[in-house]
Each structure stands twice: as structure tokens, then as C-alpha cells.
Amino acid sequence: MFQHLFGLKEPELFFDISVHVGTLAAIVIFFRKEIISIIVSLTHFIAGLFNKKKSFSSIYEDTDVKLAFLIVVGSVPTGILGILFHRIADQLFSSVVIVGFMLLVTGLLLWCTRRIKKSGKGIAGFSAKNALIIGLVQGMAIMPGISRSGSTIAVALFLGLDRETAAKYSFLLSIPAILGASALSLADLSSYTVHSYKAATLGAVIAAIVGYCALKLLVYMVKQGRIHIFAPYCMIIGVLALVCGW
């Protein structure tokens, strides 16, 4: 929408990638304890496989190892959709009307979470099927106007996950998605000219700072069961986008 507002026909690809890197940095810093715990547990599990002290059937015994496995499972449908449709999605970003419609969809999805009860299943009750569904929704979020975090958290709550697990899984699942999207963009970067490293660096830093603050607020709201308060915002912006687009 700001691209449309500023009259930018084709925003610089390198700048877009740098902003993604800034967002990724915010997620890694915010969930650094969880990420370190997963890496340590996964290292021990892999070592156990080589020493034949563990088998693949024991992957669900450690919650961190199971979470890592579920992130891989959820990343599969996201990756498939991203590879198949990322060029089409890039073209859709030029339509403010589509952004407006999808923001209304996001708003409706968030609004429907208001009646979900606090209790729910944690990692222990989290199945591979749940991960596939959430990963599929994340893949669909390549559509402009569909909130990746909002849609995946909402669907996780609908599937019966507790609020903390839904938020944590949503953002940890975004790490391979952002890395994958950046890799796809880097493949196209050779045909572009980098105009401003300063703008790219500033964009990455600002994205990291604002992203971290937004994460802190959003995770707090999810734990309080108040993610639906973002619905009116999405709907208002969505209507404004439709008016501007038409």
C-alpha cells in the first residue's frame, strides 16, 4: 500500500530482501532461548541416532526435538506453495484492491478467535497433521493482505493448541519460510542493480527494531486471548485500500 502511495512501480529487490533479514533477526532474537534449546536437544538426538542409543521412533519423547520435527513438517506445504506461486503472488502485490480484500479476510479470521477458550493442547498434543494444516495456511499467506502470523496463529487456535504454543510455533515456523523466500529472491537478484546499500541497511535495522517491538506486543496479546482486537484495524485498512484502489 505504501508502495502505491509513494508511486513506486517496482521496489528494489535488494531492499525487500534486507527488510526480510531485519524481520528474521527480530524473530531470532525474541525466541533465542527456544531456538538454542531446540538446537541443543536436536544435537543430542542426532548424536544418539549415530550412537544407536536412540531411534527415529523416539522423536516425540523430547518436546524440543518434536517441535523441530513439526517445524520441518509445516515447512513442506509452505515451501511447495512458495515455489509454485511466488511469481504470481509478486504480481498480485501491484493490486491495492486485492490487498484490501485479503485484509478483510484476515480481519474476519482474527475476529473469529474471540470465542476460543484459554485451555488447549501444548506440544505434547500437537500432531503432524496440525503442522501440515498450519504450514498450508502459511503458504497461502503469500497472498498480499493475508497476515502470515495472524492467519497461522488463528488456525493453530482453531486446531485446539494453547495460546503460547500457537504463538511460538507460528513464529518459529516463519524462520525457514523467510529464509526460503529470501533465497528465491536472491536467485532473481542478479538481474537487478543495487542502488543504495545505505537504504537497505537502514531498512533492515528499522525492520528489526519495529519487528521486535511488534512481536513483544503480539505475543502478549495472543497469551491474553485478545488477538481479535487487531480485526477492526485490518478491516478499516482493508476498506481504505478498496476505496483507494477503485
User: Does 192 score more than 60 pLDDT?
Assistant: no
Instruction: State the total domains in the chain.
Output: 1
Asked if the structure places residue 137 within a domain, the reply is yes
Q: Residue 213: helix, strand or coil by DSSP?
A: helix
* Nearest CA among 83, 221, 165 for reference residue 155: 165
Closest to 119 (Cα-Cα) out of 160, 63, 159, 169: 160
pLDDT value at residue 189 = 64
The pTM (predicted TM-score) of the whole model is 0.89
Q: Does some domain include residue 74?
A: yes
Stretch among 28-37, 49-58, 97-106, 139-148 having the lowest mean pLDDT: 49-58
Answer whether residue 3 is part of any domain.
Answer: no
Determine, yes or no, domain membership for 236.
yes
Q: What is the pLDDT of residue 227?
A: 92
Provide the percentage of residues in the chain whose pLDDT is more than 70: 93
Q: Identify whether 89 is part of a domain.
A: yes
Domain of residue 45 covers 12-53+64-245
Q: What CA–CA distance (Å, rounded) separates 153 from 168?
A: 9
On whether residue 173 sits in a domain, the answer given is yes
- Does the pLDDT at position 243 exceed 60? yes
Instruction: Provide the β-strand partners of residue 121.
Output: 161
Residue 105 lies in a domain: yes
How wide is the angle at C-alpha 213 spanned by C-alphas 19 and 235, nearest 5°?
80
pLDDT recorded at residue 120: 82
Model confidence at 188: pLDDT above 70: no
Is residue 41 in some structural domain? yes
